[in-house]
């Protein structure tokens, strides 16, 4: 009998025995799985304006690092947003928050060639897109849920490196 089948009766392992009956398990596909984890990472954000999460994934579908946007470790969290009157994506230098992508990259300790996919709740800003494009030479795809202001510039940078951009539904 194949290892993909129940040793007792032969049913596929995607089923589960509950009270003597086989039930089909609800299992999210890979993209849903990683995006749900990315959203959970974003929930740790300390930013008052936008909560962003980032997950770096290798070729074997292992999570290698995560990051969310927040102030530098040890600094007090913001009690008001310095940029609340500015349009989203503008005046970023007036913000003490480190972006989720930069936090994930700074926590990653492996070979830059190992990262094949990145999941983010929001399309990266222009600066983060440049860092991503320059840091991971074998990146295949970047998956995101929400668009970002100035997305044309961002997409131009990533597409120039042949990084596939995929916007996932909420």
Report, as residue numbers or ranges, the catalytic residues: 101
Helical segments of the chain, H only:
30-42, 100-107, 126-135, 151-160
**Distance between CA 130 and CA 125 in Å, rounded?**
9
Angstrom distances, CA of residue 93 to CA of 22, 44, 90: 56, 22, 9
Question: Which residue do the tokens 């399309």 mark?
Answer: 123
Q: Sign (positive/negative) of CA torsion 109, 144, 47, 33?
A: negative
């Amino acid at each position: 009998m194949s290892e993909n089948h129940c040793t007792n009766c032969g049913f596929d392992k995607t089923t589960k025995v509950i009270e003597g009956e086989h039930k089909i398990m609800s299992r999210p596909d890979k993209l849903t799985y990683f995006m749900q984890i990315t959203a959970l990472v974003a929930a740790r954000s300390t930013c008052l304006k936008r909560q962003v999460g980032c997950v770096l994934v290798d070729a074997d579908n292992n999570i290698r690092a995560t990051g969310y946007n927040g102030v530098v470790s040890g600094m007090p969290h913001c009690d008001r947003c310095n940029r609340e009157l500015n349009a989203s994506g503008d005046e970023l230098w007036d913000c003490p928050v480190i972006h989720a992508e930069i936090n994930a990259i700074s926590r990653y300790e492996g070979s830059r060639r190992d990262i094949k996919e990145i999941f983010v709740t929001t399309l990266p800003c222009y600066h983060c897109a440049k860092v991503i494009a320059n840091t991971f030479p074998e990146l295949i795809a970047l998956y995101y849920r929400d668009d970002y202001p100035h997305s044309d510039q961002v997409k131009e940078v990533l597409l120039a490196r042949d990084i596939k951009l995929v916007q996932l539904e909420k």
